[in-house]
């Protein structure tokens, strides 16, 4: 999942850079056209023998025209989502974070699709339940490193997928170093 996220980030970054280059070219063209008009007016005035005197109204008009063209360019720019900093990512709701992690785990376990347990259940479904219950237990203990626990769980699953599926979620929790709840009798 990390490779997919990195690829998607790279694609978005390339698209953003291409859009910014296009906008820069358009803005350069607009500014060049405005400056060309001003330059032509000055040259014409010099050739006519008059000194150009741009008073306050002419300067204001030129400034408004330049500002209006830049605002049009900004409005035409494609809206790209802002990147979140790592500090904001840490303040996300734990439920949303756990849901996102579980979605990633589900995608990672799809490689075991087509393999069944001895009871005939699909291996990815059984493994997903084991990881989900283990991560929910870790969350109830107040652990904040859900993504690290999920990666470790996937590593254990990769080493022995059938063994992990046949064991309980408590066995997976024990492998991850989580305290196991005492059975109530």
Query: What is the per-residue pLDDT for 185?
Result: 39
Query: What is the per-residue pLDDT for 184?
Result: 47
Among residues 128, 136, 132, 137, the alpha carbon closest in space to that of 106 is found at 128
Query: What is the per-residue pLDDT for 79?
Result: 64
Domain boundaries, the chain: 2-76, 86-175
**Tens-digit pLDDT string for the chain (185 aa):** 778 888 888 888 888 888 888 888 888 888 888 888 887 888 787 777 655 555 667 767 666 666 666 566 556 656 667 776 665 555 555 556 889 999 999 999 999 999 998 889 999 999 999 999 999 999 999 988 899 999 999 999 999 999 999 999 999 999 999 998 776 43
**What are the structure tokens assigned to 81, written together?**
């989502």
CA distance 68 to 82: 25
Q: What is the pTM of this model?
A: 0.49
CA distance 27 to 13: 21
CA distance 8 to 2: 10
């Amino acid at each position: 999942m990390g490779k997919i996220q990195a690829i998607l980030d790279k694609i978005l970054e390339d698209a953003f850079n291409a859009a910014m280059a296009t906008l820069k070219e358009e803005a350069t063209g607009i500014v060049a056209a405005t400056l060309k008009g001003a330059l032509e007016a000055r040259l014409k005035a010099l050739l006519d023998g008059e000194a150009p005197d741009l008073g306050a109204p002419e300067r204001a008009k030129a400034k408004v025209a330049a500002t209006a063209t830049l605002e049009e360019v900004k409005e035409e720019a494609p809206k790209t989502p802002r990147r979140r900093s790592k500090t904001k990512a840490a303040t996300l709701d734990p439920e949303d974070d756990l849901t996102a992690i579980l979605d990633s785990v589900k995608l990672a376990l799809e490689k075991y699709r087509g393999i069944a347990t001895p009871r005939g259940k699909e291996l990815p479904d059984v493994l997903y339940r084991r990881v989900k219950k283990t991560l929910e237990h870790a969350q109830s203990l107040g652990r904040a490193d859900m993504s690290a626990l999920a990666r470790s769980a996937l590593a254990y699953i990769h080493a022995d997928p059938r063994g992990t599926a046949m064991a309980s979620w408590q066995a997976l929790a024990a492998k991850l170093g989580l305290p196991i709840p005492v059975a109530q009798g």
